[in-house]
Amino acid sequence: MSRNRHLTNEEKQIWKQVTAECNRLKHERKTGENVAPKPIKLRKLQSPTDICYSPIRNSEFDARLDLHGMTAVSAHKILLSFIREQIKLQNRYLLVITGKGSGTLRDALPHWLDIPDLQGVVASIEVAKPKHGGTGAYYISLRRTRENTSKKK
């Protein structure tokens, strides 16, 4: 059969009848628990110290979280509780593994860390070195808080 074949008048009439009986699909916006949070505009680094040497690059991170294989909604909740827990434990250098996969978690993670609750807490976010997961992982540095300035020096 040729690719350039045109429909006959009879075929056109049949097609009109078929499409007349069809209802258009309505595209409704998904809501509820299975929808990932809306991304937030990323803020710029606040000072030059945000991009200077950090112990994370030398495998000296305090805690690690592996998110790959999770849905965006559950990964978001777990990430936020993990960061809040690390703040309480006075840990500053974190490794978060998102996995490479489709890129959903990898692309969303920087936006999730830009919520108002964490803006004064997260100092920097960097893509990990290949030995720690490369583009499928992030180094997260937390700012020193008044409570944790006396712990690690």
Task: Give the highest mean pLDDT range of 13-27, 47-61, 64-78.
Answer: 64-78
Residue 22 lies in a domain: no
Decide if 142 contacts 123 (C-beta within 8 A): yes
Evaluate whether residue 84 is within a structural domain: yes
Domain for residue 63, yes or no? yes
Query: Is pLDDT above 60 for 149?
Result: no
Residue 52: which pLDDT band, with cuts at 50, 70 and 90?
very low
Identify whether 127 is part of a domain.
yes
Domain assignment present for residue 94? The answer is yes
In whole angstroms, what is the distance from residue 80 CA to residue 7 CA? 58
Whole-model pTM: value is 0.59
Given a cut of 80, whether residue 1 has pLDDT beyond it is no
Q: Give dist(CA 78, CA 87) in Å, integer.
A: 14
The pLDDT, as a whole number, for residue 46 is 47
Nearest one of 46, 50, 40 to 115, comparing CA atoms: 40
In this structure, is residue 31 part of a structural domain? no
Is 149 inside a domain boundary?
no
DSSP state of 143: P
pLDDT band (50, 70, 90) for residue 15: confident
**Helix then strand then coil, % of the chain, to nearest 5:** 35, 15, 50
Q: How confident is the model at residue 96 (pLDDT cuts 50, 70, 90)?
A: very high
- The answer, yes or no, to whether residue 124 has pLDDT greater than 90, is no
- Specify the CATH number for the domain of residue 132: 3.30.1370.110
Q: Residues 124-135: what's their mean pLDDT?
A: 86
In a domain, 151, yes or no: no
Q: Give the count of domains, the chain.
A: 1
Given pLDDT bands bounded at 50, 70 and 90, which one contains residue 37?
low
User: Residue 88 belongs to what domain range?
Assistant: 48-142
Question: To the nearest whole percent, how much of the chain has pLDDT over 70?
Answer: 69
In the prediction, which pLDDT does 82 show?
A: 92
